Amino acid sequence: MKAYLDNNRASKIDVQVMELMQQSLVEHYADPRARHADAIKSRTPLAQAYEKIKASIHAKDNDMVTIGSSVDELHCRLLISIYVNSVITGQKNQIILSASESDTVIETAEYIASQGCRITILPLNSDGVVDTDMLKQTITTKTALVSITMVDAQSGAIMAIDEASQICSEHGVPLHSDASHAIGKLPIDVQMLDIDYLTLSSETVHGPTGVAMLYIKEGIELPNLIQPNNNLVGIVGLGKALELAVDSQAFEMEDTRELRDALEESIREIEDHLIITPWALRTPNTLLVGFKDVSSDALVWELNRYGISVSGEKGRALTENTASDSIYKHTLVEFALSRYTSQEEMDYTIEKLKKSVEIIRTERAR
Amino acid sequence: MKAYLDNNRASKIDVQVMELMQQSLVEHYADPRARHADAIKSRTPLAQAYEKIKASIHAKDNDMVTIGSSVDELHCRLLISIYVNSVITGQKNQIILSASESDTVIETAEYIASQGCRITILPLNSDGVVDTDMLKQTITTKTALVSITMVDAQSGAIMAIDEASQICSEHGVPLHSDASHAIGKLPIDVQMLDIDYLTLSSETVHGPTGVAMLYIKEGIELPNLIQPNNNLVGIVGLGKALELAVDSQAFEMEDTRELRDALEESIREIEDHLIITPWALRTPNTLLVGFKDVSSDALVWELNRYGISVSGEKGRALTENTASDSIYKHTLVEFALSRYTSQEEMDYTIEKLKKSVEIIRTERAR
């Protein structure tokens, strides 16, 4: 028996996605920009993929979608482009990011800060989300960009992007959101959210690795941002994966939610645990938990011995200010299910998790 | 009957490459940076791919290889990195490029020029190559980078990279070469050439589209250049495609050369033609030709009616100074064969080419 519960990092490819990619690998080799019949043959699957990508987030026909190899890559390019086009020129003077952004993004923000741009990082509260009051206090009309993750990758906590969007539009500030861990888990409508930029990637929705997209609202121009990405097969895979993710969201995700909730129930039976994932406003597939006296590394390793794949996390919502938080620092493990996770996998995981926590605590006590 | 002769833009995927990629799509979904058994499973194919990539250009173990989605993307990033790290800092003041670089690269160079960096573009001579005497005249110890394409994408002319490398090293200037159209067509040894940077892509060697690599010689550090590209399946495809391209270079490419030479022979029988591809020092698969009074567009279109895919080109070696060159401007078409091109395809192409040139000239004369 095995269980793969690291789906917020990467997920198994959907067989329909794979078949479409395989067909494209064989048939759509010609450069779609060439001017012969073979090139024209490559254009249809590409156009269909872009349509699916746009449909998955309710983008309009005239909105732009640009492809990159990862959300981090696209997000970093967006930051640098905003910095070059709005900050260096003296029009704006600050970029606001949620603490939920990835290490790579935070590093790029630090680089921009070292060049003289004010960077404000909004911390996560005990529910693992950005407090929009904090945004209100820091945003000004000179803010160049606000970037808030739609769903925290580690805890699955859902941020109040609608409120953030309203605050941003009151100040005339563009808003970006990384929707990697939201897509397929909750409905996304860029028009309703009135969002300017949105990124998401393929690997968390049973698509291929190494392909991601940046949505840019109609009318926005970002010089030097867009470089051609000709990963035709990857784009085809992304399109299909997003279509399937959105289709499965309503039904299959409810089954996933039940399995996740069952895991949570059984974790509540284990002594001295901390559940970071909030009770309300959370995605159906994620649970971030810590066990006192059980380090992340030890638990990841122990579970791996039983064929259970999970990742240890830092837990960005930990404040390090309370006694409880300091006890659970370095103990957090993320369980990330997918629509492929089965009841058997979950039962097996619950059994082995209880055993593993006990073994590690016993070893430690000795 | 059909013939695909646009292989310098993109080529059919090799069945062995496809099978390996398909296997990776299914089995190697886990993030290789995670810390469980599924992640470890993803590391082996990735490590093997990097080994094959390095072996294909005789790179050393400690040399670096970074992945991007296209040679243009990597080349542009290299230019910007060199500009930021050597020119803005005041150490160097000039970048030299061959006229053979792509439009995207030339545009990025123009952007850098607009920021105050001296950009020198070395023209191609009548043989379609950079004159190394011109390099000698323009290079100084303040040159930040010299970038010369190894093989011209349009004509298949081979540049004297060994001479360029010697001139560069005499002045202590790093050398980059785009080897996209050299790999698999001639042996490449970065150690023998003593080259600092080399780029090549997968789509011209029967690999997947949207994946390319930048070789960086051991010891060179380029801050802000490297962003992670997690296109695992693409990297696996690139590795296999390069291995096969190098393996097939000695034998299969000789068959390709014979087919290309036969095409050239029969073109010599057509009145008023210009062959840009030089007689000596050229790759075995390419022929860039023009026919008086036959526009590129018309010929590409006419051949496409017979199921023959080729591309029209600008012909960078045309000087526009001679009467002959002005006659052949806008008439150039590139025939780019591959190891999959058959005798039958070539016979069919020769027959239809003669007919097409005649039809277009007759229509025009009417």
Give residue-wise pLDDT tens across range B180-230: 999 999 999 999 999 999 999 999 999 998 899 999 999 998 766 656 677
Beta-bridge mates of residue B333: B289, B312
Last residue of a domain, one of A210, A228, A248: A248
Chain B hits for A308, Cβ within 8 Å: 36
Chain B hits for A204, Cβ within 8 Å: none
Give me the CATH number covering residue B232. 3.40.640.10
> Which residue of chain B comes nearest to A202, CA vs CA?
B231
| Torsion over CA: B105, B106, B112, B115 (sign) | negative
Per-residue pLDDT of chain B in tens (366 residues, 90 and over written 9): 999 999 999 999 999 999 999 999 999 999 999 999 999 999 999 999 999 999 999 999 999 999 988 999 899 989 988 988 899 889 999 999 999 999 999 999 998 999 889 999 999 998 899 999 999 999 999 999 999 999 999 999 999 999 999 999 999 999 999 999 999 999 999 999 999 999 999 999 999 988 999 999 999 987 666 566 778 999 999 999 999 999 998 888 999 999 999 999 999 999 999 999 999 999 999 999 999 999 999 999 999 999 999 999 988 888 777 888 889 999 999 999 999 999 999 999 999 999 999 999 999 888
Same domain, B35 and B96: yes
Last residue of a domain, one of B224, B248, B272: B248
By Cβ distance, the residue of A9, A230, A234 closest to B31 is A9
Chain A hits for B4, Cβ within 8 Å: 30, 38
- pLDDT in the model for residue B85: 85
- pLDDT in the model for residue B366: 83
By Cβ distance, the residue of B9, B104, B211 closest to A231 is B211
Axis crossing angle, helix A343-365 with helix A296-305, rounded to the nearest 10: 130
Q: Which residues contact A207 (CB under 8 A, 6 or more apart)?
A: A13, A14, A17, A237, A238, A240, A241, A242
How far apart are alpha carbons B213 and B224 in whole angstroms? 16
CB contact under 8 A, A30 and B9: yes
- pLDDT in the model for residue A226: 59
Q: Which one of B204, B233, B311, B332 would you mutate to disrupt binding with A, by most A Cβ within 10 Å of its Cβ? A: B233
Same domain, B209 and B84: yes
Inter-residue contact B192 to B181 (CB < 8 Å)? no
Q: Cα-atom radius of gyration of chain A, to the nearest Å?
A: 21
**Structure-block tokens of residue B245:** 């391209």
Chain A hits for B14, Cβ within 8 Å: none
CB contact under 8 A, B208 and A76: no
**CA B338 distance to own-chain centroid:** 14
CB contact under 8 A, A209 and B227: no
Last residue of a domain, one of B228, B248, B268: B248
CB contact under 8 A, B6 and A300: no
Same domain, B187 and B297: no
CB contact under 8 A, B30 and A10: yes
CB contact under 8 A, B209 and A228: no
Same domain, B188 and B283: no
| Torsion over CA: B13, B16, B22, B24 (sign) | negative
DSSP A143: E
How far apart are alpha carbons B120 and A55 in whole angstroms? 46
From B128's Cα to the closest Cα of chain A, the distance in A is 23
Chain B hits for A232, Cβ within 8 Å: 209-210
Inter-residue contact B164 to B135 (CB < 8 Å)? yes
**Structure-block tokens of residue A35:** 């001017």
How would you classify the pairing of strands A286-291 and A273-275? antiparallel
Chain B hits for A11, Cβ within 8 Å: 29
Same domain, B29 and B173: yes
Same domain, A92 and A117: yes
Instruction: Please compute, for residue B108, the number of CA atoms within 13 A of its CA located in the half-sphere on the CB side.
Output: 24
Q: Which amino acid, one-letter code, is at B32?
A: P
How far apart are alpha carbons A330 and A293 in whole angstroms? 9
Inter-residue contact B82 to B128 (CB < 8 Å)? no
CB contact under 8 A, A36 and B300: yes
Chain B hits for A297, Cβ within 8 Å: 35
Chain B hits for A68, Cβ within 8 Å: 69
How far apart are alpha carbons A76 and A79 in whole angstroms? 5
CB contact under 8 A, B13 and A4: no
Percent of chain A with pLDDT over 90: 85
Same domain, B84 and B219: yes
Same domain, B165 and B183: yes
Q: Which one of A7, A83, A309 would you mutate to disrupt binding with B, by most B Cβ within 10 Å of its Cβ? A: A309
Percent of chain A with pLDDT over 70: 98
Inter-residue contact B143 to B119 (CB < 8 Å)? no
> Which residue of chain B comes nearest to A68, CA vs CA?
B69
CB contact under 8 A, B211 and A203: no
- Given a cut of 70, is residue A227 above it in pLDDT? no
> Which residue of chain A comes nearest to B27, CA vs CA?
A12
Q: Which residues contact B22 (CB under 8 A, 6 or more apart)?
A: A18, A22, A25
Instruction: Provide the residue range defining the domain that includes A182.
Output: 15-248
By Cβ distance, the residue of B30, B68, B297 closest to A6 is B30
Q: Which one of A24, A69, A83, A214 would you mutate to disrupt binding with B, by most B Cβ within 10 Å of its Cβ? A: A69
Domain tally, chain A: 2
- How far are the Cα atoms of A203, A242, B29, B32 from residue A10, in angstroms, in the given order? 5, 14, 6, 10
Same domain, B257 and B244: no
Same domain, A310 and A221: no
DSSP B12: P
Same domain, B256 and B243: no
CB contact under 8 A, B37 and A307: yes
Give me the CATH number covering residue A340. 3.90.1150.10
How far apart are alpha carbons A42 and A33 in whole angstroms? 9
CB contact under 8 A, B209 and A232: yes
CB contact under 8 A, A36 and B111: no
Which stretch of DSSP H or E encloses residue A74? helix A71-82
Same domain, A184 and A291: no
- Given a cut of 80, is residue A6 above it in pLDDT? yes
Query: What is chain A's mean pLDDT, rounded?
Result: 94
Instruction: Please state the φ and ψ torsions of residue B334, each to the nearest 5 degrees.
Output: -105, 125
CB contact under 8 A, B70 and A229: yes
**Structure-block tokens of residue A235:** 């784009």
Inter-residue contact A282 to A158 (CB < 8 Å)? yes
By Cβ distance, the residue of A72, A224, A234 closest to B210 is A234
From A162's Cα to the closest Cα of chain B, the distance in A is 31
By Cβ distance, the residue of A13, A73, A310 closest to B25 is A13
How far apart are alpha carbons B94 and B312 in whole angstroms? 33
* Chain A, chain B: beta-carbon pairs less than 8 Å apart: 176
- Given a cut of 80, is residue A223 above it in pLDDT? no
From A200's Cα to the closest Cα of chain B, the distance in A is 14
> Which residue of chain B comes nearest to A304, CA vs CA?
B36
Chain B hits for A6, Cβ within 8 Å: 30-31, 34, 36, 38-39
From B78's Cα to the closest Cα of chain A, the distance in A is 14
Inter-residue contact B338 to B256 (CB < 8 Å)? yes
By Cβ distance, the residue of A6, A76, A234 closest to B36 is A6
Confirm whether the ipTM is greater than 0.90.
no
E-strand spans in A180-323? 197-201, 212-216, 273-275, 286-291, 308-309, 311-312
Residue that the structure tokens 């400690």 belong to = B62
How far apart are alpha carbons B294 and B365 in whole angstroms? 11
From A13's Cα to the closest Cα of chain B, the distance in A is 6
